[in-house]
A and B are shown apart, each in its own frame.
Chain A
Amino acid sequence: EPEVTQTPSHQVTQMGQEVILRCVPISNHLYFYWYRQILGQKVEFLVSFYNNEISEKSEIFDDQFSVERPDGSNFTLKIRSTKLEDSAMYFCASRGAQFGPGELFFGEGSRLTVL
């Protein structure tokens, strides 16, 4: 069964360092998303991406964040200068055109710990 894969599963970084989280969405999906979940908190929307551009971003997704689809398979989230409060589980999700607007396929997540 096709699935969304994310790497790394866990990354520890120092405050102020750049981090890139990688995702390989399901191959025929066209819509891509990043969500995050701070420990014990809600899953929160960060950004949606379609047709090689950002469709929508939340208030969390400030200038320190960027997304890119560098080739036909990868979808990345970059945090330019990490802060302590960026520590969270980051989920990539994708959606195919044949699925409804809320039917997202999530990866297993990348846990980011900022020290």
Chain B
Amino acid sequence: EDQVTQSPEALRLQEGESSSLNCSYTVSGLRGLFWYRQDPGKGPEFLFTLYSAGEEKEKERLKATLTKKESFLHITAPKPEDSATYLCAVRTNGGSQGNLIFGKGTKLSVKP
């Protein structure tokens, strides 16, 4: 069965304290890994797409990387506005476009 596991479940950082979020996956065939951000009471907001091991994407203080078994979302010098739940999702060989399998997310809190 295809699975996506995110760790930690929750992460508290001080402003400026860099860290990484982990997304490990066990799938029949990976056709893309996606990172989303979800604010409380809102829908997920797309951040990155990664397709192959070794690929990296960056946006402001966020950098996403991909290996054959996991992905990391690195947050450099976070600010309070980075506080949100970060979701990892995969598309597999068995799924059509837009059929994504999500992890439970990592809830990030950044304190000033």
Q: Mark A residues whose CB is within 8 Å of B.
A: 4, 31, 33, 41-45, 48, 55-56, 58, 91, 93, 95, 100-109
Contact B43 A91 (CB under 8 A): yes
Task: Report the separation of the CA atoms of residues A63 and B105 in the bound assembly, to the nearest whole angstrom.
Answer: 30
Among A31, A41, A42, A44, the one with the most B-chain Cβ atoms within 10 Å of its Cβ is A42
Given A43-B44, A43-B102, A58-B99, 5 extra CB contacts under 8 A: A4-B43, A45-B98, A45-B99, A102-B91, A107-B43
A104-B46 contact in complex given A56-B95, A56-B96, C-beta closer than 8 Å: yes
B8 within 8 A of A: no
- Dominant SS at the B interface? loop
Contact A101 B97 (CB under 8 A): yes
A106-B45 contact in complex given A45-B99, A48-B96, A48-B98, C-beta closer than 8 Å: yes
- For residue A95, which residue of chain B has the nearest CB? B98
Contact A44 B43 (CB under 8 A): no
A42-B103 contact in complex given A55-B96, A101-B91, C-beta closer than 8 Å: yes
Among A33, A58, A102, A103, the one with the most B-chain Cβ atoms within 10 Å of its Cβ is A102
B95 / chain A contacts, CB cutoff of 8 Å:
45, 56
A102-B45 contact in complex given A42-B103, A45-B99, A45-B100, C-beta closer than 8 Å: no
Output the least CB separation between B18 and chain A (Å).
Answer: 26
Task: Report the separation of the CA atoms of residues A109 and B41 in the bound assembly, to the nearest whole angstrom.
Answer: 8
